[in-house]
Amino acid sequence: MSGVVNRTIEIEIPPRPDYVSLVRVVVAAAAELDPSLEPPRVDDLRVAVSEATTNAIQAHIRSGCTRPVRVSCQRSGGQVSVVVSDEGPGFDADARLQATPSDTPVRLGRESGMGISIMRALADESSIDSGPHGTDVHLRFERTL
């Protein structure tokens, strides 16, 4: 884990699921520093960062990439911006977002695929830049809802 530079915290973690909770703790702690996000916003941040980081780790595991996943958290102007970067093979975010109504039989048969929807619902702004050499997930959270 690297150090703190100004108001940006940068973390590099091994591509292992047991590091996701560490990322949640560090990013939430950073968000609670002055100027802090309100507690419900920190909760939103924890969930969204957990989704993005888990997806990044899984992308590395699936592709056999042993390089670290990078998480950058920047505080400025009453908001927190997070970028989760991986070096996996990329994916089509729009295709994954083809939502199935929750009360259909098909929806009950799916136990995954909710992560991107959750990130987009919780963040004030989100974007996914994905290509064959990796994916950057950008999340921005305002201080208040």
Partner 1 sequence: MSVTIRRSERPPWTVLSVGGELDVVGAPDLRQAVVKEVVDGCRGLIIDLSELDFVDSFGMGAIVGALKRLRQRGGELALVCRSRRIRRVFEICDLDRIIAFHDSIDSAVGSQPMPSAPVTP
Q: Which residues bind partner 1 (CB under 8 A)?
A: 17-18, 20-21, 24, 40, 43, 46-47, 50-51, 54, 57-58, 101-103, 105-115, 117-118, 121-122
Q: Provide the token pair at 32.
A: 């609670």
Of the candidates 8, 31, 7, 139, the one whose C-alpha atom is nearest the C-alpha of residue 83 is 139
CB 79 within 8 A of CB 30: no
| Residue 38 CB neighbours (<10 A) | 15
Residue 66 or 104 with smaller CB distance to partner 1: 104
Distance separating alpha carbons of residues 114 and 105, to the nearest angstrom: 16
Q: Tell the smallest beta-carbon distance from residue 92 to partner 1 (Å).
A: 18
Residue 40 or 131 with smaller CB distance to partner 1: 40
Residue 83 or 122 with smaller CB distance to partner 1: 122
Q: Tell the smallest beta-carbon distance from residue 42 to partner 1 (Å).
A: 10
C-alpha 35: how far from its chain's center?
21
Residue 56 or 83 with smaller CB distance to partner 1: 56
Beta bridge partners of 129: 136
Find where tokens 């802090």 sit: 36
Q: Tell the smallest beta-carbon distance from residue 112 to partner 1 (Å).
A: 5
Q: Tell the smallest beta-carbon distance from residue 114 to partner 1 (Å).
A: 4
